[in-house]
């Protein structure tokens, strides 16, 4: 039996043919490797000769135009045959009759203009068949499954993908010879509208109780146009979704007193069971365009047919209300999806009969993406639905969550994502096992949910993880895309049963504590799995690690313990400075530094005086030396100076501090000026001298005067009033100790008879004539 048609389409998938180079003299053989013959891209114009034991024959991307009966007749062991992207226009009806063991056949992207059921009669082991991208009116890939009486599993041609060409003809039974298919998609707009015989023949051949049948792009504009659906009903198809827009008005009249009028342009798909009386088990309507007030008519008309549906989905159908009388008729409804519609608080109240609980068997309710604003209203409307387990109210503008709400005790799954909540309260039902609060504006969650197993908090503003003691049975926690900086081991172990954790795409601070903890977590050292993968975790700070994958970050000891290192360094520096200070104090370095400072300051003042004198016009030359000797002695030895030294040497011109120092002048300046104005310095040495700091200044200043080249080597004359050994002089008088060992000194004799010789020697040392020598 055959039927002609103006146009028929089996799963529309139009695509261009592969560009194949022009034919020329091409080889007819290829090289095989063991049981496989990879002959693609070999420029073949016909099926080559291959060994009879070949299991796989790949002839893709050649220029084969025809398959004759004898080409494959001897390949009884062949399992896979692919002839993709060739120029096939003709296949002998018995070309595949000897391929009893063939499991996969690919004839896609060729020039076949028709399907012949004789090709598949003998392919008892066929699992995968690809026929798409051919210029006939079918082009699709399908997947099917059949279980025979012996309970062995057969995978027959899985997915039929085809295309459309005007003016095709269909031979009845062409597809009936193929094993029952699991999924079949038909696009039969014109046959349903103009050639119902053709549409009936197609549906008759592909319909089976095990087949999931999808009808696309239908044009059901009259009672006659729905007649082909009887074929599916007679074959007791269990699942027949109607997908893509339905044209005009769908009116199904089948053993029903009033016609069923579905909404205009309404696609109906997902599972739908067609029986003799066309009663549906599940209805799925999506993306409809409603005209006038057709919603009420549609739903009231549906009630005649849908008195016993278990599942209804009306997605993006512009529906804003379902009358309460219609809801009352849906006695066995278990699944109700009204997402992406125009429901408001008022129309939801009408749809759910003001919370009367008329949908007694309802288990799943989805009213997401509507215009509902009151969470308390939703809770009141569903509180008497005693079997309700799943509730989806996401993508509504709820914003406010009251402190308490009535909920059915059966509620286990609640989706409140993208509802603009800024806080969560005890309104959340304590019986929940799965709660989705993703993509709100929550900063914290402090609600006790003892039965909760899954908590989804992605896309909020959480700074820290919620306390684990609030969720003693929680097993899955997602907190992606929040404002978390870190989470610690104690945060995770506070959840007693946590197994799966997702926290990627947060702005983590890669601190020295967090990085090793995260790496131990990703390495499985902690019995919690990062189900979103370590590739979603990046550093946001410090700045030099910004954007770096957290799993690859390694913090050095110096980075992680810089406070300790600074403390150690500071301690070492302090110890070093302390030791250095002790050493410098031992060697009187501070005293020397002070003395050098005093000397430099005195020299600077002298230069200023000289500069001022020249600026005042005083150009008279003044003698640099006015004294024969500056006497440096301890104040405790002043009696010897007054009683012995001055009477004997006063006429030589001695400079004494208590007599010749200028009052009001800094004492250091007086010392420096006295030394500079004297030819020599007479040091009266005693134990009192070495105990005096002023004497030490005078001794060193004399040394500095000599370093500047303003004195002779014998500028210092030493007079010992009492025996003074080298070791008796403190170490800080290092210059005096050196002078005692390297310079001739005069010692004050205790015998009066020897004192004359002492004075004679001292006068001679202080004599100006000594300078000339």
Cβ neighbours for 637, distance < 8 A, ≥ 6 positions apart: 684, 686, 688, 689, 721
Before 323, cis peptide (omega within 30)?
no
The token duo for 399 is: 């914003």
User: Do residue 762 and residue 717 come from a single domain?
Assistant: yes
Domain boundary pick from 441, 465, 494? 441
In a domain? residue 49: no
The verdict on residue 708 lying in a domain is yes
**SS3 string of 428-474?**
CCCCCCEEECCCCCCCCCCCCCCCCCEEECCCCCCCCCCCHHHCCCC
Its domain, for residue 712, covers: 624-766
Question: H/E element holding 171?
Answer: strand 169-171
CA dihedral 117, 118, 124, 127 (to 10 degrees): -40
Q: Single out the residue in 441, 465, 493 at which a domain terminates.
A: 441
Statement to judge: residues 466 and 422 lie in one domain: no
Same domain, 536 and 647: no
Q: Tell me if 416 is assigned to some domain.
A: yes
The total of structural domains in the chain comes to 3
- Look at the block and give the residue holding tokens 């919620």: 466
Read off φ and ψ for residue 400, nearest 5 degrees: -110, 135
Instruction: Return the number of other C-beta atoms located less than 10 Å from residue 437's C-beta.
Output: 24
> Residue written as tokens 């339905």?
246
Q: Do 401 and 312 share a structural domain?
A: yes
722 belongs to a structural domain = yes
Residue 526: both structure tokens together: 């902690």
Q: Using CA of residue 192, residue 198, residue 201, residue 202, what is the dihedral sign?
A: negative
Picking from 414, 441, 468, the residue at the C-terminal end of a domain is 441
Measure Cα distances from 196 to 3, 222, 231, 266, 376 in Å: 10, 11, 11, 21, 52
What is the token pair recorded at 312? 């209804």
Same domain, 548 and 643: no
312 and 399 in a single domain? The answer is yes
Single pTM value for the model: 0.52
Instruction: Say which DSSP state 267 is in.
Output: -
The token duo for 670 is: 């007086």
463 and 422 fall within a common domain? no
CB 560 within 8 A of CB 517: no
Q: What is the spatial distance between Cα 152 and Cα 148, in angstroms, rounded to a whole number? A: 6
Mean pLDDT per 10-residue run, the chain (773 residues)? 33 32 49 86 90 92 92 89 93 89 90 82 82 63 30 32 39 61 64 72 72 63 63 51 35 27 30 34 50 40 52 86 87 91 94 92 95 95 95 94 94 96 94 96 94 96 94 96 93 94 93 90 89 91 90 83 84 91 78 74 74 70 65 86 84 80 77 79 82 74 60 72 73 67 79 85 76 51
Based on the fold, state whether residues 370 and 486 are members of the same structural domain. no
User: 461 and 510, same structural domain?
Assistant: yes
**Do residues 517 and 417 share a domain?**
no
Query: Do residues 323 and 388 share a domain?
Result: yes
Residue 71 forms part of a structural domain: no
- Asked if residue 160 is part of any domain, the answer here is no
CA distance 104 to 364: 41
| Domain contains 127 | no
**Would you give the DSSP letter of residue 334?**
-
Does residue 672 lie in a domain region?
A: yes
Question: How many Å apart are CA 91 and CA 69, to the nearest integer?
Answer: 8
Write out the E strands in 228-367.
242-243, 251-252, 260-261, 282-286, 311-315, 335-337, 364-366
CATH number (domain holding residue 397): 3.80.10.10
Angle between helices 734-742 and 693-707 (to 10 degrees): 70
Structure tokens at 573: 């520096």
d(CA 387, CA 409): 8
Residues 757 and 657 in one domain: yes
Which CATH number fits the domain that encloses residue 647? 3.40.50.10140
Task: Please give the pLDDT value at position 464.
Answer: 93
| Of residues 370, 428, 382, the one with CA closest to residue 401 | 428
């Amino acid at each position: 039996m055959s039927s002609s048609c103006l146009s028929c389409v089996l799963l529309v998938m139009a695509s261009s043919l592969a560009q194949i180079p022009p034919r020329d003299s091409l080889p007819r053989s290829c090289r095989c490797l063991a049981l496989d013959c990879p002959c693609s891209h070999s420029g073949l114009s016909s099926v080559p000769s291959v060994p009879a034991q070949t299991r796989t024959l790949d002839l893709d991307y050649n220029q084969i135009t025809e398959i004759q009966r004898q080409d494959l007749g001897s390949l009884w062991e062949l399992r896979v045959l692919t002839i993709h992207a060739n120029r096939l226009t003709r296949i002998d009806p018995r070309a595949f009759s000897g391929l009893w063991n063939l499991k996969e056949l690919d004839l896609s992207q060729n020039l076949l203009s028709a399907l012949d059921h004789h090709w598949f009669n003998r392919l008892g082991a066929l699992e995968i068949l690809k026929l798409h991208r051919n210029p006939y009116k079918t082009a699709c890939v399908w997947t099917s499954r059949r279980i025979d009486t012996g309970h062995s599993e057969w995978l027959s041609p899985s997915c039929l993908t085809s295309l459309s060409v005007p003016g095709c003809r269909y031979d009845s039974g062409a597809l009936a010879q193929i094993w029952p298919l699991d999924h079949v998609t038909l696009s039969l707009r014109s046959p349903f509208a103009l050639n119902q015989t053709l549409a009936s023949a197609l549906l008759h051949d592909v319909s089976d109780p095990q087949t999931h049948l999808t009808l696309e792009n239908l044009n059901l504009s009259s009672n006659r146009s729905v007649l082909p659906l009887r074929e599916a009903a007679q074959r007791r198809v269990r699942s027949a979704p109607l997908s893509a827009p339905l044209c005009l008005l769908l009116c199904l009249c089948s053993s029903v007193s009033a016609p069923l009028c579905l909404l205009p342009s309404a696609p109906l798909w997902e599972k739908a069971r067609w029986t003799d009386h066309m009663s549906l088990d599940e209805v799925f309507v999506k993306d409809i365009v409603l005209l006038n007030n057709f919603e009420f008519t549609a739903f009231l008309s549906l009630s005649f047919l849908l008195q016993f549906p278990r599942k209804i989905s009306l997605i993006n159908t512009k529906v804003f209300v379902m009358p309460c009388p219609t809801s009352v008729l849906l006695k066995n409804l278990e699944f109700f999806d009204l997402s992406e519609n125009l429901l408001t608080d008022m129309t939801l109240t009408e749809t759910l009969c003001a919370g009367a609980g008329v949908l007694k068997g309802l288990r799943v309710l989805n009213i997401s993406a509507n215009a509902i604003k009151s969470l308390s209203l939703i809770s009141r409307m569903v509180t008497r639905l005693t079997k309700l387990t799943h509730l989806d109210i996401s993508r509504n503008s709820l914003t406010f969550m009251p402190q308490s709400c009535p909920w059915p005790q059966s509620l286990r799954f609640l989706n409140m994502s993208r509802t603009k909540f800024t806080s969560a309260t005890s309104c959340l039902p304590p019986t929940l096992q799965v709660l989705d609060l993703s993509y709100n504006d929550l900063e914290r969650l402090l609600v006790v949910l003892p039965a909760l197993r899954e908590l989804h908090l992605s896309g909020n503003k959480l700074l820290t993880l919620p306390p684990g003691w609030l969720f003693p049975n929680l097993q899955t926690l997602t907190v992606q895309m929040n404002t978390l900086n870190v989470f610690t081991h104690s945060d995770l172990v506070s959840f007693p049963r946590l197994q799966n954790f997702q926290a990627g795409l947060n702005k983590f601070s890669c601190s020295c504590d967090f990085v090793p903890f995260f790496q131990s977590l990703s390495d499985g050292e902690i019995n919690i799995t990062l189900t979103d993968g370590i590739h979603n975790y990046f550093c946001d700070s410090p700045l030099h690690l910004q954007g770096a994958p957290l799993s690859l970050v390694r913090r050095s000891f110096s980075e992680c313990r810089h406070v300790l290192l600074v403390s150690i360094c500071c301690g070492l520096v302090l110890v070093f400075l302390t030791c250095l200070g002790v050493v410098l104090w031992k060697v009187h370095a501070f005293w020397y530094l002070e003395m050098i400072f005093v000397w430099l300051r005195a020299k600077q003042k002298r230069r200023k005086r000289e500069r001022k004198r020249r600026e005042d016009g005083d150009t008279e030359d003044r003698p640099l030396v006015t004294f024969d000797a500056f006497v440096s002695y301890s104040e405790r030895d002043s009696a010897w100076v007054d009683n012995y030294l001055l009477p004997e040497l006063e006429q030589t011109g001695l400079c004494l501090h208590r007599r010749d120092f200028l009052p009001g002048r800094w004492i250091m300046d007086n010392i420096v000026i006295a030394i500079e104005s004297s030819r020599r310095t007479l040091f009266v040495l005693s134990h009192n001298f070495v105990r005096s700091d002023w004497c030490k200044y005078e001794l060193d200043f004399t040394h500095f005067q000599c370093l500047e080249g303003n004195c002779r080597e014998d500028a210092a004359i030493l007079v010992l009033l009492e025996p003074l050994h080298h070791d008796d002089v403190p170490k800080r008088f290092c210059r005096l100790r050196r002078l005692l060992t390297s310079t001739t000194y005069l010692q004050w004799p205790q015998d009066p008879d020897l004192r004359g010789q002492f004075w004679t020697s001292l006068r001679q040392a202080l004599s100006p004539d000594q300078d000339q020598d």
